[in-house]
Structures are given as structure tokens and as C-alpha cells.
């Protein structure tokens, strides 16, 4: 039985046991994934995962109780488990305190979005990775296959989503901490793309063999590759666009709502769910817009409002998840050709990756972190020497504000490589960024 039919059969079974005054919402999360782990350019682990998880929320008299369990693949067995757990929640829910902010979609908006696979076979991708990385020290993980999301409720709403994605997240080591970090993700695997990436890797490895350039703390002109931009934009997931955080003055971008704080006019950021790897519906049954503008031409335009926050503050939800964090960032591209990046940078630092980011001063959106792996010193438009790892400390109002000089025409699709429990569907479309001053501290 197909995953969609399986889920709908269980939802119908649950519907037949609903009693007067009860409401249920049901969320399905599943995948059929191939996984391959590489180390020293060899396959160290390979396998497939076929799993499904159901989460059910029972609501009655503004009281709610929930449970979840992993599906066995036996429809009769899973149906009985579902009925048993639901009956147990019915006994418990009446003893729970009323929740004044409980909210679920009372309008029925059913939908179906399925995409045919355009993926290459896992075997062909792995063969190419092994061929291209011959005589190199490659470590990483490749994962691909369909991911499924579903929603059902007792009002008869049914939503289904499936999409086929791949993600190759890898590093190629020279020695110690000298390595090139890269990733390639998307919906259609192009062999030529990976070949070009490995050609660039070979060029960078040659530079990594040179003695490292020593830099003093200070402000430097830098180019941030899309992966580095992803880390900077990603830290905005920590409540920056949450309406709840704005209401409680805990958003690191509160100054953008409360005062004249702005980013550069060329900076326009939104959540583009329609272009991402996740569904246009969420766990309470509310539909998500295909696009939500968050910052337009440097100015804050919208927040993300979950159903719970909407009820608490008398607002309208825009389908945000419970944490009110974006799941599909898209930063509008600029007019700088990627081929001209080094020439435009002239003299400064090429930063391929950042990591260990954290806020050093929350209210001013000041962050700190480390450069990672392959970062290079550039002179007169040419990469000259590698750089040792350095710490930075700077404000996003500075990096994406007055110091933002250009964004590239080309954007990278970056898929979150996390596989804790299940493959993530969070993604981002991001260009590279040229920054006039970037503050390194040690």
C-alpha cells in the first residue's frame, strides 16, 4: 500500500471512533531513503530506511493531549495500536487543565502535492563520487529518496505532500584541520555539476598546501560563499522572525520593528515554502503561503505567526510552525557574477564556511563564530594563501547593512543535512555576499 493510502486509511479509522465534542488532528511524517557514509573515499556504511511516524492530538473542551508512534507497516496492527492509544488519551484529557490558546483549523482545506522522482540511481551517484574522489580523503554522507508529510483531522480535512530530494554533504581533507567543505543538494542530480565542483576542490587543495597567511585581529574585506551566508542567515532562525518573540521583546531583530534599524536595501529575505522541500500545510491543519516576505529592501515586513500565538495576541496566523522559524529561506540574488567575485574582492578574505555561531549580544544582533576549513587570503583578485581558523564578532546590522556591497547573481540550493530521527526538509536558496568590513577578533 502506498504511504498516502496507508495514512488516509489510519485517519479514516480514527475518524470512525470520534465522539461528540472531540476533535483530533493527525500528522504523518515518513521517508524512503538511501544512505551512504564515506570515509577516506570509501563506503563505510550503506543502507535504506523506510519509516513512518504518526502524531495525534485529541482536543475536547479546550483540553488537549497527544501521542505519537512509529508505524510497523502492518495496517491492521497499526490500526489497533492507534485505537488503543486514542482511547487512553480520551481517559487522560478530561483531567488536564484547559488550554486558553489551543487552536486548530476549523475550515477544511484539503490538498495534494506529489512530485515524480527525477533522481539518478543511488548506485550511479555513489560510483561518480568514488571515481571523482579517487586518491583523495573524502568524508561525508549521501542521502536521497522521497519524503512524505500528511495531515488529517476529524472535520474531514486531508493533506498530502511528497517530494524526492538528494543531499551530498562532504569534506575533503588534506591534513589536520586543512580541508575543503562542500555540499550539493537538489531535486535533479547533474553529473556535470559535481565534476565542476571537484575541479574547484582540486584547485583549492593546491593552495591549502601553501604556508598559512597570518592575520591580525581587525576589519577585513571579505567574500562570504553561500554556505557561509547560510550560517549567518540560519542564526535568524533563533526567534528572529517569531511574532511571539517580538511581542515579548526577545527577538534579536526587535530594533527593526521598534526603531529605525535596517539592513541594506539590497537585502530581501523571505520564506519561500513553494520552492523548498517541505509542504504547504502544518501540524494544526493551517495552510502556509507559498511565499512570506520577511525583510524587503532592508526593512522588516512580516513576522511568522503560529496558530497559538495568533490566538494569544488576537492576530491572524500565516501558517508558521510552533517555533515560528522559517523552513525555506530565500535571499534575493544580486548582480555580481560569481566569476567576478575574486576580481571584485580584490584584496581580502574568501570565506567558504562558518560554524559555531552564537549571539554575543542578542538585542543588537551581534554574533560570534569561527571561520571553518578552507578560507583564503586574496590579493589583487587572486587566491594566494590559506588562512588559519579565526574568530569573528560582528553585528548582522553591519554585515547585512552598510557593509554589504554586493550579492551574487547565482544562488545555491542548500538542504539541511540533518538526519536525527528523520531527514530534514528545511532548505535555503542563497547567493554569496561581498562585505566591505568583517570584524575578526582573534
Claim to verify: residue 329 and residue 312 sit in the same structural domain: yes
**pLDDT of 241 above 80:** yes
Point out the domain boundary residue: 177, 206, 235: 206
As a whole number, mean pLDDT of residues 201-212 equals 91
Point out the domain boundary residue: 206, 224, 251: 206
Largest CA distance in the chain: 75
Claim to verify: residue 303 and residue 363 sit in the same structural domain: yes
As a whole number, mean pLDDT of residues 72-90 equals 95
**CA dist., res. 35 & res. 141, Å (int):** 7
Claim to verify: residue 95 and residue 195 sit in the same structural domain: yes
| Residues in contact with 33: Cβ distance below 8 Å, sequence separation at least 6, in sequence order | 48, 49, 50, 143, 144, 145, 147, 423
Claim to verify: residue 231 and residue 143 sit in the same structural domain: no
| Contact of 8 with 1, CB cutoff 8 Å | no
- Residue 177 has a pLDDT of 76
Claim to verify: residue 201 and residue 231 sit in the same structural domain: no
- Residue 260 has a pLDDT of 82
User: For residues 3-29, b (16+ Cβ closer than 10 Å) or e, as one string?
Assistant: bbebbbebbebbeeeeeeebbbbbbbb
As a whole number, mean pLDDT of residues 183-192 equals 94
- Global pTM? 0.94
Point out the domain boundary residue: 187, 206, 225: 206
**CA dist., res. 78 & res. 234, Å (int):** 38
> With bands split at pLDDT 50, 70 and 90, how would you rate the model's confidence at 4?
very high
As a whole number, mean pLDDT of residues 17-35 equals 96
| pLDDT tens digit sequence for 36-45 | 999 999 999 9
- Residue 101 has a pLDDT of 87
> With bands split at pLDDT 50, 70 and 90, how would you rate the model's confidence at 178?
confident
- Residue 106 has a pLDDT of 86
Claim to verify: residue 292 and residue 161 sit in the same structural domain: no
| pLDDT tens digit sequence for 333-373 | 999 999 999 999 999 999 999 999 999 999 999 999 999 88
Claim to verify: residue 314 and residue 400 sit in the same structural domain: yes
> With bands split at pLDDT 50, 70 and 90, how would you rate the model's confidence at 20?
very high
- Residue 77 has a pLDDT of 97
User: For residues 313-341, b (16+ Cβ closer than 10 Å) or e, as one string?
Assistant: eeeebbbbbeebbbbbbbbbbbebebeeb
Claim to verify: residue 221 and residue 169 sit in the same structural domain: no
Claim to verify: residue 228 and residue 335 sit in the same structural domain: yes
- Residue 227 has a pLDDT of 96
- Residue 372 has a pLDDT of 85
- Residue 98 has a pLDDT of 93
Claim to verify: residue 152 and residue 301 sit in the same structural domain: no
Range of the domain at 118: 3-206
**CA dist., res. 206 & res. 287, Å (int):** 50
**pLDDT of 96 above 80:** yes
- The domain total for the chain is 2
Claim to verify: residue 299 and residue 150 sit in the same structural domain: no
| Contact of 317 with 303, CB cutoff 8 Å | no
The CATH number assigned to the domain holding 11 equals 3.30.2290.10
Claim to verify: residue 178 and residue 261 sit in the same structural domain: no
Amino acid at each position: 500500500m502506498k504511504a498516502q493510502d496507508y495514512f488516509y486509511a489510519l485517519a479514516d479509522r480514527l475518524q470512525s471512533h470520534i465522539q461528540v465534542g472531540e476533535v483530533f488532528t493527525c500528522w504523518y511524517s515518513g521517508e524512503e531513503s538511501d544512505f551512504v557514509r564515506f570515509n577516506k573515499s570509501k563506503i563505510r556504511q550503506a543502507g535504506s530506511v523506510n519509516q513512518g511516524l504518526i502524531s495525534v492530538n485529541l482536543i475536547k473542551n479546550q483540553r488537549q493531549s497527544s501521542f505519537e508512534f512509529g508505524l510497523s507497516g502492518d495496517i491492521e496492527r497499526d490500526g489497533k495500536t492507534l485505537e488503543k492509544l486514542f482511547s487512553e488519551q480520551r481517559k487522560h484529557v478530561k483531567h488536564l487543565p484547559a488550554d486558553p490558546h489551543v487552536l486548530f483549523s476549523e475550515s477544511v482545506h484539503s490538498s495534494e502535492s506529489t512530485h515524480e522522482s527525477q533522481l539518478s540511481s543511488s548506485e550511479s551517484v555513489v560510483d561518480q563520487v568514488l571515481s571523482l574522489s579517487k586518491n583523495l580523503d573524502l568524508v561525508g554522507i549521501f542521502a536521497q529518496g522521497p519524503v512524505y508529510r500528511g495531515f488529517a483531522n476529524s472535520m474531514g480535512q486531508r493533506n498530502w505532500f511528497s517530494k524526492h530530494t538528494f543531499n551530498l554533504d562532504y569534506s575533503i581533507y588534506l591534513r589536520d584541520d586543512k580541508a575543503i567543505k562542500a555540499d550539493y543538494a537538489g531535486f535533479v542530480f547533474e553529473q556535470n555539476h559535481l565534476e565542476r565542483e571537484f575541479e574547484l576542490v582540486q584547485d583549492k587543495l593546491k593552495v591549502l598546501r601553501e604556508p598559512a597567511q597570518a592575520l591580525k585581529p581587525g576589519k577585513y574585506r571579505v567574500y562570504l560563499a553561500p554556505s557561509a551566508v547560510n550560517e549567518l542567515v540560519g542564526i535568524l532562525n533563533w526567534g528572529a522572525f517569531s511574532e511571539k518573540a517580538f511581542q515579548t521583546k526577545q527577538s534579536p531583530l526587535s530594533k527593526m520593528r521598534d526603531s529605525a534599524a535596517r539592513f541594506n536595501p539590497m537585502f530581501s529575505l523571505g520564506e519561500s515554502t513553494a520552492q523548498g522541500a517541505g509542504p504547504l500545510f502544518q501540524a494544526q491543519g493551517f495552510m502556509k503561503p507559498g511565499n512570506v516576505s520577511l525583510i524587503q529592501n532592508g526593512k522588516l515586513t512580516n513576522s511568522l505567526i503560529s496558530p497559538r500565538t495568533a490566538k494569544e495576541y488576537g492576530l491572524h496566523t500565516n501558517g508558521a510552525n510552533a517555533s515560528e522559524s522559517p523552513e525555506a529561506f530565500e535571499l534575493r540574488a544580486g548582480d555580481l557574477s560569481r566569476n567576478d567575485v575574486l576580481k571584485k574582492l580584490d584584496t581580502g578574505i574568501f570565506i567558504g564556511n562558518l560554524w559555531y555561531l552564537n549571539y554575543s549580544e542578542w538585542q543588537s544582533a551581534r554574533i560570534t563564530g569561527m571561520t571553518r576549513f578552507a578560507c583564503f587570503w586574496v590579493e589583487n583578485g587572486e587566491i594566494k594563501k590559506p588562512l588559519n581558523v579565526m574568530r569573528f564578532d560582528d553585528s548582522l546590522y553591519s554585515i547585512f547593512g552598510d557593509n554589504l556591497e554586493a550579492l551574487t547573481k547565482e544562488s545555491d540550493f542548500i538542504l539541511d543535512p540533518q538526519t536525527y530521527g528523520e531527514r530534514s526538509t528545511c532548505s535555503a536558496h542563497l547567493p554569496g555576499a561581498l562585505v566591505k568590513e568583517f570584524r575578526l577578533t582573534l
